């Protein structure tokens, strides 16, 4: 495993981080037992993954808490999140949700607590009303660092984060980034690097990379909308060049490696419902960068696209 600083937090994190939400939710989304889900978490930790991200709405905090119990807590970085719905939420709401998350995890503190899926319209309330309450909990030692995550499918231009990265108190952000959704290269990463904000990358691998029929449908739509030239459909799979001459083992492998080696990326989050896939995902994240010519082609071909591949969890129909 490779490790790196998470911004200026002082935390040292594995470059591969286990995400406990998404379609899989550690297998809970497909009927896995609690024991099977616990085994997924422990497999990741045994491979050197020390960053684990969960959330109240995922329904996996209890599983994470049970899974990490045999391990040295000080060697793990536990991140959780809560959603706050609107202006009716107050400082007391923040305290209640943090306390509830800690109880489900069975912990006396979390390393990072995020405001989850914050929209541009709700950002001001989170910053001005809710964040001070979270900072008080930080002073009490219940939260070590304060984070904020975007709602990628509902804010594909990353309007909220483009403002948040310039303002206190955010120490860590979670953002959508992939080889088909590269906007953060221009608008986010230069600022987080300058200000020492830790970055957690989600949506790195989604259905567009793993489902060939869905991928064809998405590319056909992009061509019809005039966002891509029709010639991109001429050679079959528009992402097939990623596999040419052994550049990557699969499109999913290429997607993980592209994000992992982007300047500004700290943790690449992966999720799975199958224990066997943990090792595969970690191996991809730890492989060398894609060839420079491939990366240049990705930037030239898709760098202008906004919000592609940000499908919400759920079944995909091609």
Residue 14 makes CB contacts below 8 A (sequence gap 6+) with 1, 2, 3, 48, 49, 50, 51, 267
Reported as a pLDDT band with limits 50, 70 and 90, residue 316 is: very low
Q: What pLDDT score was predicted for residue 245?
A: 80
Q: What pLDDT score was predicted for residue 278?
A: 97
pLDDT in tens, 118-159: 999 999 999 999 999 999 999 999 999 999 999 999 999 999
Q: Is the pLDDT of residue 177 over 80?
A: yes
Please provide residue 84's backbone torsions phi and psi, each rounded to the nearest 5 degrees.
-120, 125
Q: Rounded to an integer, what distance in angstroms lies between the CA atom of residue 83 and that of residue 149? A: 10
pLDDT in tens, 71-80: 999 999 999 9
- Which is nearest to 4 in space by CA: 284, 265, 279, 285? 265
pLDDT in tens, 13-40: 999 999 999 889 999 999 999 999 999 9
172-176 and 198-202 strand pairing: parallel
- Over its C-alpha atoms, the chain yields an Rg (Å, rounded) of 19
In terms of pTM, does the model score above 0.85?
Answer: yes
Q: What pLDDT score was predicted for residue 313?
A: 60
Q: Is the pLDDT of residue 312 over 90?
A: no
Q: What pLDDT score was predicted for residue 317?
A: 38
Assess contact for 109 and 102: CB atoms under 8 A: yes
Q: Return the percentage of the chain with pLDDT > 70, whole number.
A: 98
For range 4-8, the mean pLDDT: 98
pLDDT in tens, 185-223: 999 999 999 999 999 999 999 999 989 999 999 999 999
CATH for 3-208+262-292 (3.90.660.20, 3.30.559.10, 3.20.20.100, 3.40.47.10): 3.20.20.100
Beta bridge partners of 200: 174, 267
Q: Is the pLDDT of residue 230 over 90?
A: yes
Assess contact for 15 and 266: CB atoms under 8 A: yes
Q: Return the percentage of the chain with pLDDT > 90, whole number.
A: 93
| Helix or strand (DSSP H, E) at 92 | helix 91-105
Structure token pair of residue 198: 């830790």
Reported as a pLDDT band with limits 50, 70 and 90, residue 49 is: very high
Reported as a pLDDT band with limits 50, 70 and 90, residue 246 is: confident
pLDDT in tens, 33-48: 999 999 999 999 999 9
**Domain segments of the chain as ranges:** 3-208+262-292
Choose the weakest-confidence range: 142-156, 165-179, 230-244.
230-244
Q: What pLDDT score was predicted for residue 314?
A: 54
């Amino acid at each position: 495993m490779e490790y790196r600083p998470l911004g200026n937090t002082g935390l040292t994190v594995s470059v591969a981080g286990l995400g406990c939400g998404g379609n899989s939710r550690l297998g809970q989304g497909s009927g896995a037992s609690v024991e099977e889900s616990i085994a997924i978490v422990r497999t990741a930790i045994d491979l050197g993954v020390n960053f684990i991200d969960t959330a109240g709405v995922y329904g996996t905090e209890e599983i994470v808490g049970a899974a990490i119990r045999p391990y040295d807590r000080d060697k793990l970085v536990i991140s959780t999140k809560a959603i706050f719905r609107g202006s009716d939420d107050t400082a007391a709401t923040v305290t209640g949700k943090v306390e509830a998350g800690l109880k489900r995890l069975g912990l006396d503190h979390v390393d990072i607590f995020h405001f989850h899926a914050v929209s541009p319209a709700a950002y001001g309330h989170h910053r001005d009303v809710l964040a001070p309450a979270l900072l008080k909990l930080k002073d009490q030692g219940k939260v070590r660092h304060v984070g904020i995550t975007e709602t990628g499918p509902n804010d594909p231009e990353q309007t909220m984060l483009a403002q948040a990265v310039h303002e206190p108190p955010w120490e860590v952000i979670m953002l959508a980034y992939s080889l088909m959704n590269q906007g953060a290269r221009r608008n986010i990463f230069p600022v987080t690097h300058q200000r020492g904000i830790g970055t957690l990358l989600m949506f790195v691998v989604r259905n567009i990379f793993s489902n060939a029929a869905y991928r064809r449908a998405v590319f056909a739509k992009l061509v019809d909308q005039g966002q891509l030239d029709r010639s991109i459909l001429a050679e079959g799979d528009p992402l097939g060049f990623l596999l040419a001459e052994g550049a990557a083992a699969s499109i999913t492998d290429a997607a993980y490696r592209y994000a992992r080696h982007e300047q500004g990326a700290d943790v690449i989050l992966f999720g799975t419902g199958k224990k066997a896939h943990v090792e595969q995902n970690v191996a991809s994240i730890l492989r060398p960068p894609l060839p420079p010519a491939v990366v240049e082609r990705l930037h030239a071909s898709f760098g202008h696209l906004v919000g592609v591949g940000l499908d919400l969890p759920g079944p995909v129909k091609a």
